[in-house]
Amino acid sequence: MKIALAQLNYHIGNFDLNTDHIIRHISLAREKGADLVVFAELAVCGYPPRDFLDYSQFLTHCEAAAQKIAKHCTDMACIIGLPIKNEVVKGKDLYNAAYFIENGAVKAVVKKALLPTYDVFDEYRYFEPFNEFQCIDFKGKRIALTICEDLWNINDNPLYVSCPMDELIKQSPDVMINIAASPFNYRHDEDRIQVLSGNAKNYKLPLFYVNQVGAQTEIIFDGGSLVFDEEGALKAEMKYFEEDLQVFDLDEIQNVKNKYPLLERASDISQIHDGLILGIRDYFRKSGFTKAVLGLSGGIDSAVVCALACRALGAENVMAVLMPSKYSSDHSVKDALDLVKNIGCQHEIIEIKAAAAAFDGMMANAFGGLPFNLTEENIQARCRGIVVMAMSNKFGYILLNTSNKSECAVGYGTLYGDMCGAIGVIGDVYKTQVFELARYLNKDGEIIPENTIVKPPSAELRPDQKDSDSLPEYDILDQVLFRHIEQQQDSNQIIAAGFDEALVKRILKMVNAAEFKRYQTPPILRVSPKAFGMGRRMPIVGKYMD
């Protein structure tokens, strides 16, 4: 039996696009000699549909799309994912399901049993977990079909009380197929391989796994669909961050060594780069936007975001706005202009000195002669926010936010100023990783000016300002933040690891105090195991770790 894995980029709620895309790939799989073509979890509607699932018409469109797909699958079989109604009154109203379609009709329905409700996942909000399991017979083979999380309960600390494959294996299947919507983070590819390999080895069955690719607002899917033999050996690995369709012979997976080439493991920073490019591109394409604007300061954060945007959208579609203040150094302006020259994007220079001075004069009586402080710094940042939003409104540009994760974590940014934007490009990338990204962008020639990389980071909102005046050095800060955010360590654990007690408590207090700011920031492209946003939910007024 020849099995095609179709790793596609879906658009949530765009039924015409998704359906046509699936039908085209059924035809392509047929041309390549496939007997069965497998699509991803909730492929028909896109993942995650979230509260679209509350609308009955959305479900009607899902079923209509599935029936249209079935009409084009007459001389082969396909597997598609979609939400379906739960006809039982008790329990949630929907199932996360898969249709097995053969000869133009739905021959079997599989429903997801293990529903992830953690981090970015919220499936139990919508779906009822299923508890009956049945294999599917096709072309003399018996298929154990599961949906994403159904294979992830194989570890030393099981999250769920049941395991679908423990039931399906009793029916003597010949092959496992798993359809997934597995979000990207730069540490997830190796975990995914380990878990899926463990399933194949544990149940002594070959495993075909298909993931989707593409970005849905902040969540990025990296593809990387996989095939394992019954010993758990990885036999094939599909492209990352790209659509792909490949056909595999089940017998060859079992009997032929190294027929399908494996990919070299990409570095973390390479994956982050590719994920961000895909995230930017899909945010614009799926939202119907084409042109971006951002503030370009001469610093490393805005330089990296500008370079990424140019790679994702084309330099001709990126407007960089230089907004020097009276505290901006001549070298910062030169560094920004050098970047513009290197990448060829559009640019404007709009000074904010007059605007900031006007606000100072306007507020002078109200401030009653109080000395210059953070207030005047924030006024400058908000003047810049007004300028880039004016460019956005006038020309239809979409504003890219350039705040990094270190800044977001400790609140080192100005609400309605440098924290504004439609999408946060590097808000899940620590400052130390931003430096790595800059070096990666320069690997084939200078894109980011060298002075931008080596000079001390500064907001340039007061004379001779440096980030280190307000923050610990980023090398230390990022280590503490990673332990606290990604690894969920408390202050005692971090201090026990050798970090200074006063410093740790200061950092964690800043993280806690900045929660109100993060609630008002744009969605942030998720590239780490724990990003700010829907995957990390903290109370604004909580006192824990204060």
Crossing angle of the two packed helices 56-71 and 15-31, in degrees rounded to 10: 20
Which of 2, 111, 112, 286 is catalytic? The answer is: 112
- For residue 112, indicate whether it is catalytic: yes
Which of 45, 148, 408, 420 is catalytic? The answer is: 148
Angstrom CA distances, 112 to 81, 94, 489, stand at: 10, 11, 32
Q: Is the CB of residue 182 less than 8 Å from the CB of residue 148?
A: yes
Q: Is the CB of residue 31 less than 8 Å from the CB of residue 64?
A: no
Q: Which helix (H) or strand (E) holds 437?
A: helix 431-441
- For residue 310, indicate whether it is catalytic: no
Nearest to 387 by CA among 358, 355, 364, 343: 355
Strand partners, 143: 136, 175
Nearest to 518 by CA among 403, 430, 432: 403
Amino acid at 83: P
Assigned token pair, 278: 């895909």
Express the helix, strand and coil content of the chain in percent, nearest 5 each: 40, 20, 40
β-pairing verdict for 136-138 and 105-111:
unpaired
Q: How many CB atoms lie within 10 A of CB 465?
A: 16
Angstrom CA distances, 282 to 60, 188, 241, 496, stand at: 26, 21, 11, 42
Which of 2, 41, 45, 78 is catalytic? The answer is: 41
Amino acid at 528: S
- For residue 62, indicate whether it is catalytic: no
Question: Burial code of 20-41, b = ≥16 C-beta within 10 A, e = fewer?
Answer: ebbbebbeebbeeebbbbbbbb
Active site residues: 41, 112, 148
